[in-house]
Structure 1
Amino acid sequence: MDEVIYGYSCYLKDERELSQNTLESYIRDLEQFKEYLNSNSSFDLMSANKTIIITYLMYLQKDGKATSTISRNLASIRSFYQYLINKDFIREDPTYNLHSPKGERKVPDILTPKEVDLLLSQPDVGDFKGSRDKAMLELLYATGIRVSELIDLNINDINFEIGYIALRGDSLQERAIPVGKLAIDSLKLYINEYRSQVLRNVRETAVFLNFQGKRLTRQGFWKIIKYYTGNTNINKKITPQTLRHSFAVHLLQNGADLKSVQEMLGHSDISTTQMYSFATNDKKLREVYKKAHPRA
């Protein structure tokens, strides 16, 4: 069985060309399903049927897992069985016609433009750390990119003249995202004045470095944003995802179309992007009500 999972892992990496983070997520979900089968049934991965998979999804739900987590698990399990079908290891796909659970659509937490300004004004750009942190926060809000994309950014991915960054997703398909002047100026200051202070290897391509001159990690950036949010007195839980959400909602509130926001966020399905329109429509309705209702 371990050989099958290993073969599947190689398939995800070599043929589907998934990123390391996505690949690890697929395998982790599959291993958890395997452990469930070993502990709660007489089935294994090769013999599991639709009933046992439904039972497993119900188990995850009773265990308090979020709808998004359950949907991701089903996607991981479905991908594995499609692989087994294609390799002629099994004849029938036990996930056929199984649908992800539908949960309540939750409007994501966002910051107001004033709160964004307050957060982005925290770093002191007079040294390496402050300049780097300012550039990271400005770029995250200016583009709505994911933390992994921010950390993976290389020098050659930035076009300063036109003002955009180039990103490559799991499929290696490039998407270009425009970057505003404030973020470009912050990047120029950091790269031209401070990045070289910690650079140890001239071949290092990472934009954002730690004090050892190596690519900054996700954990490192989480500590950075936690540090600055602690100084703002903003009574909201602020994560890197909060800036991504705020980017999307603020664009829509100011007239951007949903399709363009979808492309910038890198969503494969526009229904994922539509959750931001709920927050936008809610604000517009409140404004209309306040202006029109005599007792508003």
Structure 2
Amino acid sequence: MATPSYVPDPLIEGFLDELWSTKGLSDNTLSAYRSDLLHFDAYLQQRQLSLLAAGRDVIQDYLGLRYDNGAAKSSSARLLSSLRRFYGFLLIRQLIGDDPMALIASPKLPRKLPDTLSEADVEALLAEPDGDDTLEGRDKAMLELLYATGLRVTELVGLTLEQISLRQGLVRITGKGGKERLVPMGEVAIDVVSRYLKLQRAALLVAGQSDVLFPSSRGRMMTRQTFWYRIKLYAQRAGISKALSPHTLRHAFATHLLNHGADLRVVQLLLGHSSLSTTQIYTHVANARLQALHAEHHPRG
């Protein structure tokens, strides 16, 4: 962060506290905002400026420096989002008179299609864990539930017993922004999770009682990094060579629903997207799949 004498502007933590208390943003999002603002603040201090004194020209100089250093468009777009939100916060608090971000345009980013798996790949992945083994039985239940519900990985690893109703076949999720949604599980996921609760969960609670639905081998809440490692392990064993991400099964859930005729707004509700435009990217994946099927099977494809 430039010099050992650097002292972060306290406005940054005040801004992040405000976001945490009013917007319910995830730790990862807050961490990204913090990183962006600290780097910008350090740059300003090197120029003997402050966050309150930074004008549009200074911000553009900083963006130009990042461009010269090879910063990716996606990284710059995230930085601009952080700065827009931060200076909007300062404007509302009347700590500045004008918004220096008002006339700064964001870089246009190509719409990136999410990585996903075919239905055959998903079947192979879900079949890989050994349902009779303690850890793999837990992982099998997690994978089945993830594909059946389209949860975010952070939502999955944080699930508690009270959030799931096997009798009703529903999972109650509090997602981004503190918004709650009910997601149906499906019969296969209900059966696999029921079996896991009967046969394996108690063996994982080595440290006593816990309300975590899928505890780690140490009886605590699993990290998303650990679960991501487990997904990659089963994908490798299943012979899946495609690039995967922690949200691969979430993407597959949405894409496969649309492939089978689900309404886009229903998929939006199930995924917990606040905007339909966020969900619409999956229609590109579904359309590409339909075009491929048409080309393969239609006599004049």
| TM-score, with length taken from structure 1 | 0.90
In 2, the alpha carbon distance for the partners of 1:116 and 1:64 equals 37
Pick from 279, 282, 287 the counterpart of residue 285 of structure 2: 279
Pick from 264, 270, 283 the counterpart of residue 276 of structure 2: 270
Counterpart for residue 249 of structure 2: 243
| Percent identity over paired residues | 39
Change in 2 beyond 3 A, CA 1:57/1:252: farther
SS in 1 for 2:247: helix
In 1, the alpha carbon distance for the partners of 2:277 and 2:88 equals 24
Deviation at 1:76, TM superposition (A): 1.5
1:27 aligns with 2:34: yes
Counterpart for residue 46 of structure 1: 52
1:156 aligns with 2:162: yes
SS in 1 for 2:108: coil
The alignment's C-alpha RMSD in Å is 2.2
Change in 2 beyond 3 A, CA 1:184/1:292: closer
In 1, the alpha carbon distance for the partners of 2:251 and 2:276 equals 15
In 1, the alpha carbon distance for the partners of 2:44 and 2:164 equals 47
Change in 2 beyond 3 A, CA 1:183/1:19: same
Change in 2 beyond 3 A, CA 1:62/1:106: farther
Counterpart for residue 115 of structure 1: 121
Pick from 66, 72, 77 the counterpart of residue 83 of structure 2: 77
Contact 2:150 2:271 in 1 (8 A): yes
| TM-score, with length taken from structure 2 | 0.89
Contact 2:207 2:218 in 1 (8 A): no
Change in 2 beyond 3 A, CA 1:93/1:106: same
Pick from 17, 20, 23 the counterpart of residue 10 of structure 1: 17
In 1, the alpha carbon distance for the partners of 2:232 and 2:273 equals 26
Counterpart for residue 125 of structure 1: 131
In 2, the alpha carbon distance for the partners of 1:146 and 1:279 equals 19
- Residue range with higher mean Cα deviation, 243-252 or 53-62: 53-62
Counterpart for residue 198 of structure 2: 192
In 2, the alpha carbon distance for the partners of 1:30 and 1:186 equals 45
In 2, the alpha carbon distance for the partners of 1:56 and 1:184 equals 52
1:139 aligns with 2:145: yes
Deviation at 1:25, TM superposition (A): 2.3
Counterpart for residue 103 of structure 1: 109
In 1, the alpha carbon distance for the partners of 2:55 and 2:260 equals 49
SS in 1 for 2:217: coil
Change in 2 beyond 3 A, CA 1:212/1:142: same
In 1, the alpha carbon distance for the partners of 2:254 and 2:64 equals 33
In 1, the alpha carbon distance for the partners of 2:69 and 2:272 equals 31
Deviation at 1:262, TM superposition (A): 1.6
Question: Which amino acid letter does the alignment assign opposite residue 106 of structure 2?
Answer: S
Deviation at 1:252, TM superposition (A): 0.8
Pick from 175, 178, 182 the counterpart of residue 181 of structure 2: 175
Change in 2 beyond 3 A, CA 1:170/1:291: closer
Deviation at 1:246, TM superposition (A): 1.2
Deviation at 1:291, TM superposition (A): 5.0
In 1, the alpha carbon distance for the partners of 2:107 and 2:290 equals 30
Contact 2:254 2:267 in 1 (8 A): yes
- Taking the TM superposition and a 5 Å limit, the aligned residue runs for 1:183-222 are 183-200=189-206, 203-222=209-228
Deviation at 1:150, TM superposition (A): 0.9
Contact 2:208 2:219 in 1 (8 A): no
Question: Which amino acid letter does the alignment assign opposite residue 212 of structure 2?
Answer: A
Give CA deviations for 1:243-292 in whole Å, capped at 9, x if unaligned. 11111111111101211112222222222222111121122233344555
Give CA deviations for 1:179-235 in whole Å, capped at 9, x if unaligned. 111112111111222111121455522111111111111121122112111212222
Question: Which amino acid letter does the alignment assign opposite residue 178 of structure 2?
Answer: L
Give CA deviations for 1:168-188 in whole Å, capped at 9, x if unaligned. 123222111111111121111
In 2, the alpha carbon distance for the partners of 1:285 and 1:221 equals 34
In 2, the alpha carbon distance for the partners of 1:44 and 1:54 equals 15
SS in 1 for 2:183: strand
SS in 1 for 2:173: strand
SS in 2 for 1:165: strand
Tell me, which stretches of 5 or more residues in structure 2 are unaligned?
1-7
Contact 1:225 1:239 in 2 (8 A): no
Between Structure 1 and Structure 2, how many residues are aligned?
Answer: 294
Deviation at 1:133, TM superposition (A): 0.5
